């Protein structure tokens, strides 16, 4: 079975080809009668029925006969199920025990890029220095873990999509894209070197773009797709620079060779590692939606819900964590980069969780929750707890997929409604969805003995015990942030659950009449995922001897670095239990507040709070104006009047400072006012003026005339050659 | 011939003449007002460069240069000049507004390359007289020697180049067709 | 008169510079394309000279590839010229400034 590794990505690829071709051919003829030139454009009915609120189930009254629906179903789901069977076959063929002892298996399909470079150039003693890239698929414990849940969750979501997308005209197109995504994701996971990882990385990015823009005839979906694509390019730029750095330094991109070389001879590589790790981390930030590149993920919810579940929650967005765990040798050699990773992770977790509190779109809440949980995973990686991070990746894949699919089931039942203010009381009407959603919500909130309790607890314990030599007080602060975020998570998730399923129905009569339980193809995946959200945590039980199976399973990934002793931490049992108790207490507070405010109080308390602190509420509800800021600075800033942006910041965000200050220090309000008047305004106006002049300069550079650009290119050439001549 | 000397005597003088005329006609391409004149000077420049190739025993490349550039691309250029209205192509000003800046800056930008030319030393290997006519130890024509390298060592790039040409052809057809559709 | 590789490189350098200058200063779309062809030709000259100097046929093979690319580039460029002309009724690239900020 292990030698069939190449067949695992092959089947989804075949599925993509068949589905894509059949769809294209079957829609070519239709398109002509329709009057369009191409084959697309027959999904127009979804646009016609779509109200203003984001809505993605195609409930149109006139059911079309979808051509080749059976074929698309069999090929689309079948190919992924076969890949899943092959994947588990390969994993069990090698054996879990063998994996945890460091077994791996690789097949080299062909030599991809042979380079005949001068062997002596850029080569450090101990590096591979082979200067070629092979197409190598490799399975070791880390990729086995990813492979297992990617193919399994992927199969379930494909099955779910059969029901969810059943009425869509673009059924075949959807499955073609989804299969292509599975192919790219499997290449990403199985790739045995950085370049193949990058191929998969770009492939999943492309599919993400295609699927976010699935309802391409609607502007917001097309725009969201473009946004995701552009933001990801920023990250990918950093990533590929990092890959260049690795290739230049080691003369190889093969994971095994590169990491072995770095671990064997750390002194030679350490000086370069901070730069390389930060570049790789920029890539991870883009793909895994970390601050400040997270903005695409909430918008990505414009895609169909199964896509949100599969790509934007369970698999693709965790690729960044996977990559960092894969490169753990590098990161351990670069403690400063680790600190950056930890801080960005913790900040993203907190930041996204606070935004999630004020969202009213069921999918947006889950999206911000995903960003927040990804922040957790990066926090884990940043403190060196790579196995714990991957543990959370795994449990998160199950419960977040379950939440998203549950949300999809709710949206399906509500006929496309996504606003939780117009739901309520659905528990009795769609009981299976409700039960599974409840389980997943309890899991993500950190209720004891469910999956995320163990994985989050492992992360928090690792953060608590972490040691940063440069900033010794940082781990405790990060722990506090993580703990507070856990409380927020419990709060907004129960707010979501309460508003959606409890209380009384707040939608229209028509919607109430329409509500119905989803078909079995949708509920079966929900039940399986809910079950896994309960049990998947037991692979990493702390305290008990040999309880942390997943840590042992992933241990071979963490190569011992020469001259760097592995710190084995055995905290006293009392501290471990204390940390758990704190986590449970915080989660309980969050759940209780959400329940009492939204279930009993019918939202009076939050309304009062929002009225009392309008500035804070506005900032949170508008996601801290980050999108607006990006729009102003990057999208229009260079083309239009960039300087105006800061004047608007002055008018909106900075007003918060006086607002907040006045509330907190009412006694010394005259001081705050004076501060506001002279210091803040003066500062902001000054900076605004400076930036305005700067943006004017940039703006003048954008003449739109190609020849100006060509001249500037000549200048760039001059600089490059001059630098080369000076430093050769 | 050793010490990196490529041409001597009459051949050297011929090279100097050919090069001087080629450069002059290149300047004429850039400064000529009418695109038709530019195209004709470009043709002259191509032919002279092809002659320089042949001086260097690169007969095959010289022939390809004549056929593809002089024969193919130039005809294409002249067709396009004919297709677009010649009255419009002869615009009021032939130079655009940044020309003065460009004339000053470009030499500065290219200075480092002259510096490299002046300082860089090539490995001192002798020039082999018959290198372009050899396949292994056999002496054949230049065309055969090139084709051995092209079809044996560079077969894959060659095929890629053919795919590239196909793509370019389709692209050109699509671009031309689309603008025709817009006209309707 | 003895000619070494440096003479070739200087000729090629000048040819390239003239081509680059043409790209930078001309208004006419067609002349810009022709200047690009000049630059490619300069590259070819370089390749041939080095190929001769190092007695290696690879340079000749690559100059054939460069000619191939130039042919493709000319085809696409001229198609673009026609497209551009149909839209703007002129060949003046100064008219193409939709990207202006």
Cβ atoms of residues A504 and A425 within 8 Å: yes
Nearby residues of A704 by Cβ (< 8 Å), 6 or more positions away: C96, C97, C98, C99, C100, C101
B65 located within any domain: yes
Nearest-Cα residue of chain B relative to residue C30:
B35
Partner-chain residue, chosen from B58, B157, B179, that has the shortest CB–CB distance to C83: B179
* Cα separation values, A594 from A64, A358, A496, A588, A590, Å: 43, 12, 9, 10, 6
CB A245 within 8 A of CB A275: yes
Q: Please report whether residue B90 resides in a domain.
A: yes
Question: C21: which chain B residues are within 8 Å (Cβ-Cβ)?
Answer: 30, 102-103, 106
A721–chain B Cβ distance below 8 A for any pair: yes
H or E segment to which residue A134 belongs: strand A132-139
Q: C-chain residues within 8 Å CB-CB of A710?
A: 23-24
Tokens 């372009």, residue located = B132
Minimal C-alpha gap between A116 and chain B (Å): 14
**Where does residue A324 rank: exposed (0-12), middle (13-18), buried (19+ CB within 10 A)?**
buried
User: What is the distance between the alpha carbons of residues A69 and C30, in angstroms, rounded to a whole number?
Assistant: 52
Name beta bridge partners: A137: A107, A191
Q: Given an 8 Å threshold on Cβ–Cβ distance, is A721 in contact with B116?
A: yes
For residue C88, list chain A residues with Cβ-Cβ distance below 8 A: none
What is the C-alpha to C-alpha distance for residues A278 and A340, in angstroms, rounded to an integer?
A: 8
Beta-carbon-side half-sphere exposure of residue A368 (alpha carbons within 13 Å): 26
The residues spanned by each domain of chain C are 28-96
Residue of A195, A206, A334 lying closest to A275 (CA atoms): A334
B98 interaction partners in chain A (CB closer than 8 Å):
705, 707-708, 711
**CB contact, 8 Å: A116 with chain C?**
no
Cα separation of A557 and A100, whole Å? 9
Q: What integer pLDDT is reported at residue B25 of this predicted model?
A: 94
What range does the domain containing B102 cover?
Answer: 10-130
Residues with Cβ within 8 Å of residue A219, at least 6 apart in sequence: none
Contact yes or no for B175 and C37 at CB 8 A: no
Asked, for residue B148, whether it belongs to a domain, the answer is no
Residue B138 lies in a domain: no
Interface touch A721/B112, C-beta < 8 Å: yes
Per-residue pLDDT tens digits of chain C, which is 101 residues long? 788 888 888 899 999 999 999 888 888 888 899 999 999 999 999 999 888 888 888 888 999 999 999 999 999 998 888 888 887 777 777 777 766 65
pLDDT for A53 equals 38
Q: Kindly report the CATH number assigned to the domain that includes residue B33.
A: 1.20.120.1200
Which of A372, A395, A569 lies closest to A488 in space, CA to CA? Answer: A372
* Distance between CA atoms of residues A709 and A712, nearest Å: 5
Is it the case that residue B50 has pLDDT exceeding 60? yes
Are the Cβ atoms of B168 and C71 closer than 8 angstroms?
yes
- Cβ distance A488 to A590 under 8 Å? yes
Handedness of CA A471, A477, A483, A486 (dihedral sign): negative
Q: Do B106 and C24 touch (CB under 8 A)?
A: yes
List B92's β-bridge partners, or say none.
none
State how far the Cα of A100 lies from the Cα of A549, in Å rounded to an integer.
9
| Residue C65 contacts B, CB cutoff 8 Å | yes
d(C-alpha C37, C-alpha C73), whole Å: 9
Q: What is the DSSP string of A36-49?
A: -SSS----HHHHHH
Q: Least CB-CB distance to A718: which of B96, B112, B116?
A: B112
Best residue in A640, A694, A706 for a mutation probing chain C (most C CBs within 10 Å): A706
Q: Residues A473-502, buried b or exposed e (16+ Cβ, 10 A)?
A: ebbeebbebbbbbbbbbbbbbbbbbbbbbb
Q: How far is CA B1 from CA A434, A665, A702, B130, in A?
A: 90, 91, 54, 11
The residue count of chain A comes to 728
* Angle, vertex CA C86, rays to CA C82 and CA C87, nearest 5: 120
ipTM score for this prediction: 0.90
Q: Which chains reach chain B with 3 or more Cβ–Cβ distances below 8 angstroms?
A: A, C
Which of B73, B127, B183 to mutate to probe the C interface, most C CBs <10 Å? B73
Rg (CA), chain B: 21
SS3 A105: strand
For the residues of A585-603, what is the DSSP string, one character each?
HHHHHHHHHHHIIIIISTT
CA A698 from chain centre, in angstroms, equals 33
Q: What is the pLDDT of residue A675?
A: 55
Which residues in chain A have Cβ-Cβ distances shorter than 8 Å to B116? 721, 725
Tell me if A704 and C93 make a contact (CB, 8 A cut-off): no
What is the number of helices (H) and of strands (E) in chain A? Answer: 32, 2
A708 vs B: CB within 8 A:
yes
pLDDT of residue A42: 33
What residues contact A25, with CB distance under 8 A and at least 6 apart? Answer: none
Helix and strand counts by DSSP (H, E) for chain C: 3, 1
Task: Give the SS3 label for residue A449.
Answer: coil
Q: Extract the tokens encoding A182.
A: 């599975």
Question: Which residue on chain C is closest to B115 by alpha carbon?
Answer: C10
Of A707, A711, A721, the CB nearest to B113: A721
Contacts of A707 in chain B (CB under 8 A): 96, 98, 102
Q: Which residue of B has its CA nearest to A716?
A: B109
Residue A343: CB atoms within 10 A of its CB come to 19
Q: Pick the closest to residue A550 from A96, A33, A73 (CA basis).
A: A96
Q: Which of C85, C46, C80 is nearest to C63 (CA)?
A: C46
User: What residues pair up with B139 in beta bridges, in sequence order?
Assistant: B134
User: Between residues 24 and 43 of chain C, which touch chain B (CB distance below 8 Å)?
Assistant: 24-28, 30-31, 33-35, 37-38, 41
List chain B residues with CB under 8 Å of C60.
58, 60-61, 132, 146, 149
The two structure tokens encoding residue A329: 């040798």
User: Cβ contact (<8 Å) for C67 and B175?
Assistant: no
Is the sign of the CA dihedral B86, B87, B88, B93 positive or negative? positive
Contact yes or no for C33/C77 (Cβ under 8 A): yes
Q: Please tell me the total number of residues recorded for chain B in this structure.
A: 184
Residues of chain A scoring pLDDT < 70: 28-64, 116-129, 543-546, 567-570, 600-604, 613, 615-616, 619-621, 623, 626-704
Taking an 8 Å cut-off on Cβ atoms, the answer to whether B45 and C13 are in contact is no
The total number of structural domains in chain B stands at 1
Distance from CA of C37 to the nearest CA of B (A): 9
CATH placement of domain C28-96: 1.10.287.3510
Give domain status of residue B68, yes or no. yes
- Here the contacts of A28-34 (C-beta below 8 Å, separation 24 or greater) are A30/A67
Asked whether the bond before A292 is cis by omega within 30 degrees of 0, the reply is yes
All chains having 3 or more CB pairs closer than 8 angstroms to chain A: B, C
- Asked if residue B152 has pLDDT above 70, the reply is yes
User: What secondary structure letter does DSSP report for B154?
Assistant: T
């Amino acid at each position: 079975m292990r030698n069939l590794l190449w067949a695992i990505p092959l089947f989804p690829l075949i599925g993509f080809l068949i589905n894509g071709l059949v769809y294209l051919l079957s829609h070519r003829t239709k398109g002509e009668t329709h009057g369009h030139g191409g084959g697309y454009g027959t999904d127009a009915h979804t646009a016609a029925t779509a109200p203003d609120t984001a809505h993605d189930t195609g409930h149109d009254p006139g059911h079309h006969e979808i051509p080749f629906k059976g074929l698309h179903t069999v090929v689309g789901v079948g190919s992924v199920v076969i890949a899943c069977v092959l994947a588990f076959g390969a994993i069990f063929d090698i054996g879990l025990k063998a994996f945890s002892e460091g077994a791996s298996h690789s097949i080299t399909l062909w030599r991809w890029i042979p380079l005949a470079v001068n062997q002596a150039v850029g080569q450090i003693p101990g590096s591979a220095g082979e200067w070629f890239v092979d197409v190598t698929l490799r399975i070791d414990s880390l990729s086995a873990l990813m492979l297992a849940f990617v193919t399994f969750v992927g199969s379930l979501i494909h099955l779910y999509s059969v029901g969810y997308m059943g009425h869509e005209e673009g059924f075949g197109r959807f499955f073609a894209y989804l299969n292509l995504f599975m192919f790219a994701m499997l290449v990403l996971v199985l790739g045995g070197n950085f370049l193949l990882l990058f191929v998969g990385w770009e492939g999943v990015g492309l599919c993400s773009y295609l699927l976010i823009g699935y309802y391409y005839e609607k502007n917001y979906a097309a725009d969201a797709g473009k946004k995701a694509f552009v933001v990801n390019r920023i990250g990918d730029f950093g990533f590929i620079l990092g890959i260049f750095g690795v290739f230049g330094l080691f003369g190889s991109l093969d994971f095994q060779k590169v990491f072995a070389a770095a671990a064997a001879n750390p002194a030679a590589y350490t000086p370069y590692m901070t730069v390389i790790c930060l570049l790789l981390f920029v890539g991870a930030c883009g793909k895994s939606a970390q601050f400040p590149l997270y903005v695409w993920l909430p918008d990505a919810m414009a895609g169909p819900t199964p896509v949100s579940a599969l790509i934007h929650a369970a698999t693709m967005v965790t690729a960044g964590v996977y990559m960092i765990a894969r490169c753990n040798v590098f990161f351990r050699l670069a403690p400063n980069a680790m600190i950056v990773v930890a801080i960005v992770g913790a900040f993203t977790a907190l930041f996204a969780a606070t935004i999630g509190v004020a969202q009213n779109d069921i999918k947006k809440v889950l999206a911000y929750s995903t960003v927040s949980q990804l922040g957790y995973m990066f926090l884990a990686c940043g403190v060196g707890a790579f196995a714990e991070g991957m543990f959370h990746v795994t449990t998160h894949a199950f419960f977040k997929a379950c939440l998203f699919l549950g949300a999809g089931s709710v949206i399906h039942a509500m006929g496309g409604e996504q606003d939780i203010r117009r739901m309520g009381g659905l528990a009795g009407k769609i009981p299976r969805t409700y039960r599974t959603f409840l389980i997943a919500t309890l899991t993500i909130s950190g209720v004891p003995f469910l999956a995320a309790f163990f994985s989050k607890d492992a992360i928090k314990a690792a953060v608590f015990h972490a040691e940063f030599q440069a900033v010794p007080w940082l781990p405790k602060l990060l722990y506090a942030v993580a703990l507070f975020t856990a409380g927020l998570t419990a709060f907004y998730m129960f707010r979501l659950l309460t508003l959606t399923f409890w209380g009384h129905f707040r939608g229209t009569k028509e919607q109430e009449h329409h509500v119905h339980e989803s078909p079995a193809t949708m509920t079966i995946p929900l039940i399986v995922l809910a079950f896994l959200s309960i049990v998947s945590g037991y692979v990493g039980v702390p305290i008990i001897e040999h309880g942390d199976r997943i840590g042992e399973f992933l241990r071979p990934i963490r190569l011992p670095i020469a001259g760097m002793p592995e710190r084995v931490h055995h905290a006293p049992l009392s501290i471990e239990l204390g940390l758990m108790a704190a986590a449970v207490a915080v989660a309980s507070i969050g759940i209780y507040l959400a329940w009492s405010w939204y279930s009993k109080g019918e939202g009076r308390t939050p309304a009062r709070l929002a009225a009392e602190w309008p500035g804070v509420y506005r900032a949170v509800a508008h996601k801290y104006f980050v999108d607006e800021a990006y729009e102003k600075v990057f999208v229009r800033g260079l083309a239009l009047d960039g300087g105006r942006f800061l004047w608007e910041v002055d008018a909106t965000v900075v007003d918060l400072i006086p607002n907040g200050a006045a509330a907190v220090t009412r006694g010394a309000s005259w001081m705050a006012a004076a501060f506001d008047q002279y210091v803040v305004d003066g500062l902001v106006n000054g900076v605004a003026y400076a930036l305005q002049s700067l943006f004017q300069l940039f703006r003048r550079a954008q003449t739109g005339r190609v020849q100006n650009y060509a001249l500037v290119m000549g200048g760039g050439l001059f600089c490059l050659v001059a630098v080369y001549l000076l430093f050769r | 011939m050793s010490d990196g000397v490529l041409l001597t005597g009459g051949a050297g003088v011929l090279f100097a003449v050919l090069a001087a005329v080629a450069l002059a006609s290149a300047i004429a391409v850039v400064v000529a007002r009418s695109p038709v004149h530019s195209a004709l000077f470009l043709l002259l420049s191509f032919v002279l460069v092809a002659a320089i190739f042949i001086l260097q025993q690169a007969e095959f490349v010289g022939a390809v240069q004549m056929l593809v550039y002089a024969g193919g691309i130039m005809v294409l250029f002249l067709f396009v000049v004919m297709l677009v209205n010649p009255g419009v192509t002869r615009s009021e000003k032939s130079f655009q507004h940044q020309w003065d800046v460009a004339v000053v800056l470009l030499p500065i930008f290219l200075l480092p390359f002259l510096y490299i030319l002046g300082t860089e030393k090539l490995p001192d290997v002798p020039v082999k007289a018959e290198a372009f006519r050899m396949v292994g130890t056999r002496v054949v024509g230049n065309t055969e020697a090139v084709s051995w390298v092209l079809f044996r060592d560079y077969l894959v790039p060659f095929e890629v180049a053919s795919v590239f040409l196909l793509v370019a052809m389709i692209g050109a057809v699509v671009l031309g067709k689309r603008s025709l559709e817009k006209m309707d | 008169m003895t000619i070494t590789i440096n003479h070739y490189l200087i000729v090629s350098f000048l040819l390239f510079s003239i081509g680059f200058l043409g790209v930078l200063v001309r208004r006419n779309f067609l002349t810009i394309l022709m200047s690009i062809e000049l630059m490619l030709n300069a590259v070819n000259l370089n390749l041939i000279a080095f190929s001769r100097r190092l007695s290696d046929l690879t340079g000749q093979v690559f100059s054939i590839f460069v000619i191939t690319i130039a042919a493709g580039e000319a085809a696409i460029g001229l198609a673009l010229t026609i497209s551009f002309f149909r839209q703007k009724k002129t060949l003046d690239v100064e008219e193409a400034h939709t990207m202006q900020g």
